[in-house]
Amino acid sequence: MKTRFTECFGIEHPIVLPGMSMVSVPKLVAAVSNAGGLGILATGPLSAEETRQAIREIRELTDKPFGIGVTLMMPGAKENAEVGLEEQVPVINFSLGKGDWIVERAHAYGGKVIATVVNEKHALAAQRYGVDALLATGHEAAAHGGPVTSLVLVPTLADAVDIPVIGTGGFADGRGLVAALALGAEGIAMGSRFSISQESPIHENTKRTVLSKSIEDTLYTPKFDGMDCRVMKTARAEQISKRPINPVRAFKNSFRLAEQMRLHWLKLFFGALIMGPKMLKQLARASNATEAIELAIKEGDCENGVHLVGQVQGRIHDIPSVAEIMDRVIQEAKDVRAKIA
């Protein structure tokens, strides 16, 4: 199935694994790329040296195109982007920041750049920077999806820009792929679907918990990590969405957050303090969120932890390999196209 996106990025299928923190690790990234899609490494939790090691590990597992994701507003993201550019990673996906310098340097060695956006303003800005494609994140998506659903966001951005749009949020099968193409997209990202695969690092208990949930079993709240965020609906998640911040837990967890962000704790604290009460509150929520996410992903504890997942979880009913998922999606898309015709 060829589109401008597959032709430009040198991949077989117009399907992407987005960079999900603690989930999009080298093994899963390589599996998606080997299956004909585009795997994107999550670098948020990684230091610059860890990012370099992860890139080299991916290259040992695949000779297909892959990418790295960087959230530019986060400490350490610029350093990780620098590593990606030095290593001449085929694709760099940036979000929440001005990535014109990434575009210039990636294009110099023949690399491609994707910008993650949630609205038309940011899409047009990214196109001006010279990015090669947009990852349009709809309201249905796991974690920080935008306020507009994919059904409306995708065609709006496809009309607004001249570059390929990749829809994400609500896509998990061949019907979704065909629907996205009909809306004007030239590819889809399937984070939640690939996260429930044999190659995913998510704990087996959390994978099984996702299988038991419906499309209605998610929460979209700013009270989890300080930004609007979609998570699995559990008793713990509902408690977090209703209760005020636990300052004692936030203080304890802030040291872990500072370590992950590779900052001295005092620098993290006073930086947030200078930016005002709102940033302090967001820091407190982010501190608690890190612990909760790790409990769900690494330990399979969905009672005390919180799992980031999209509404499409209710469309996921098994735990196949990445290759099986890819084959299934492409075949279903072909069958749907034939039926429509």
- pLDDT, tens digit (0-9, with 9 covering 90-100), for 298-336: 999 999 999 999 999 999 999 999 999 999 999 999 999
Report the pLDDT value the prediction gives residue 291, as an integer from 0 to 100: 81
161/308 Cα distance (integer angstroms): 30
What are phi and psi for residue 112, nearest 5 degrees? -115, 155
Report the pLDDT value the prediction gives residue 280, as an integer from 0 to 100: 47
Report the pLDDT value the prediction gives residue 284, as an integer from 0 to 100: 54
Return the half-sphere exposure (C-beta side, CA atoms, 13 A cut-off) of residue 207. 18
Report the pLDDT value the prediction gives residue 264, as an integer from 0 to 100: 59
Residues in the chain with pLDDT values less than 70:
243-288
Distances (CA, A) of 86 to 23, 81, 97, 104, 201: 24, 9, 20, 13, 27
- Give the tens place of pLDDT for each residue, 148-167: 999 999 999 999 999 999 99
Crossing angle of helices 277-299 and 265-274, in 10° steps, is: 140
Spatial contact of 43 and 8, defined as CB atoms under 8 Å apart: no
Domains belonging to the chain, first-starting first, are 4-202+317-340 (3.20.20.70), 214-308 (no CATH)
Q: What is the mean pLDDT of the chain?
A: 90
Neighbours of 47 (CB within 10 A): 16
Distances (CA, A) of 136 to 55, 132, 312: 25, 13, 16
313/317 Cα distance (integer angstroms): 8
Residue 174 DSSP label: H
Measured over the CA atoms of residue 189, residue 190, residue 192 and residue 194, the dihedral's sign is negative
